[in-house]
Amino acid sequence: MLILIILCLSLLCSCSCDIEHDPKTFRVLSYNVQNLFDARLDGGEYPEYQDPKVWNDRSYRMRLETLSKVLLSEKLLSPDVIILQEVEGPRVVEDLLCLHLGRKGYRWYAVAKGTDAAISVAVISRHPIASSTVHASAGIRPVLEATICTEGGDISLFALHAKSQIGDGADLRLSLAKVVSRASYERAGSAVLLCGDFNEDPSSVWDTAASAPALVDMNHPEATRLQAAGALGLVGDHAALAPGLYYCPYLDESWKGSAPGSCSWDGLWHRYDQILANGKLFDGMGWEYESFSIENLPSLCSSDGRPYAWNIRTLQGVSDHFPVLMTLKRR
């Protein structure tokens, strides 16, 4: 699989940043923005985006503006890093930065996309990206690793978008988990966050007969076997963290969310959008985990409180996912 990666360290657009810098706080936002394609027809777009009467420069710019208003909302507290899933490619990120986000200090970005893929993952940052790497395996979407330089030390972010629940994607989700597990384990001595749309609930091992989950709650009696098979081991108690395990706020009994989940399908809520933290964020040194939230802002909700999904036919809505936000603090 060939991978496209773009890293821009000095975006050529005007920047008059008025976001107050807080050296003791670091926030990461992860957001599946639901099929954000640019207006140029390259041939790899989904069919509904190939009709210029429906999808054109005007509708594209309108959607960029809608998304930028969300990302720059005061209620999101100016994330230091924004991780996006389902953007077409680097052109979308560049337009988003040059037209909207660049003036707020977002000047660094990286994008990873499979050659034959329609969509990609992106990392956008107000801090320098020291390095970026793509991790891949046959048949799966690429995982983008970006090392962010901060005054409190480097933070290794892994941006991913697992195969959806439509069709038979369990094996592909497990393959992606193996790639992420191996790559992130090499950064065990650093602060590590795994971010994105995992397309699997962290508690799914309890609710399904699937024999090969990509995520496993380590309280499950078969957890050790499943983790050895490649699943990412999750805990809800940071005291139980060990090398190769990740803290999942959803599994923490003390965590309280403002919404039952980050997305909803067939009337059921799911917690597919996640940010997982390794043990370095709970060792009392440098950056430390502070909080995690599902950001169901009023502008992102439909009348029933579920995500106001984007509808290309009506050119209404935002996304079928809510963004999730993790805050770190320097002790």
The DSSP secondary-structure symbol of 53 reads T
Report the alpha-carbon angle 102-108-110, nearest 5.
Answer: 125
Tokens of 165: 């629940």
Residue 256 lies in a domain: no
The whole-number pLDDT of residue 12 equals 47
From residue 326, give the alpha-carbon distance in Å to each of 32, 39, 83, 267.
15, 32, 12, 26
**Is residue 295, in this structure, part of any structural domain at all?**
yes
Residue 214 lies inside a defined structural domain of this protein: no
pLDDT tens string, the chain, 331 residues long: the values are 566 777 765 554 545 566 778 889 999 999 999 999 999 999 899 999 999 999 999 999 999 999 999 999 999 999 999 999 999 999 999 999 999 999 999 999 999 998 889 999 999 999 999 999 999 988 899 999 999 999 999 999 999 999 998 877 899 999 999 999 999 999 999 999 999 999 999 999 998 655 689 999 999 999 999 999 999 999 999 999 999 999 999 999 999 999 999 999 988 999 999 999 999 999 999 999 999 999 999 999 999 999 999 999 999 999 999 999 999 999 7
Residues 176, 255: Cα–Cα separation, whole Å:
27
What CA–CA distances, in Å, run from 24 to 139, 159, 330? 40, 23, 5
Strand partners, 143: 135
Does 297 reside within a domain? yes
Q: How far is C-alpha 191 from the chain's CA centre?
A: 17
Contact 172, 213 (CB under 8 A): no
**CA-based R_g, the chain, Å:** 19
Calpha distance 148→133 (Å, rounded): 12
Look at residue 226 and give its three-state secondary structure. Answer: helix
Q: Is residue 265 part of a domain?
A: no
**CATH number, domain with residue 125:** 3.60.10.10
Per-residue confidence (pLDDT) for residue 118, from 0 to 100: 95
Residue 263 resides in a domain: no
Count structural domains, the chain: 1
Q: What is the DSSP letter of 151?
A: T
Question: Does any domain span residue 174?
Answer: yes
121-143 burial by CB neighbour count: b if 16+ within 10 A, else e? bbbbbbbebeebbbbbeeebbbb
Give the residue carrying structure tokens 């609710």.
Answer: 207
Does residue 157 contact residue 123 with C-beta atoms inside 8 Å?
yes
| Residue 270 in domain | no
131-137, long-range: CB < 8 A, 24+ apart: 132/5, 132/7, 133/183, 134/3, 134/5, 135/179, 135/180, 135/182, 135/183, 136/1, 136/3, 136/179, 137/1, 137/175, 137/176, 137/178, 137/179
- pLDDT at position 10: 52
Determine the structural domain holding residue 60 and report its residue range. Answer: 3-8+24-201+281-330
74: phi then psi, degrees, rounded to nearest 5:
-60, -25
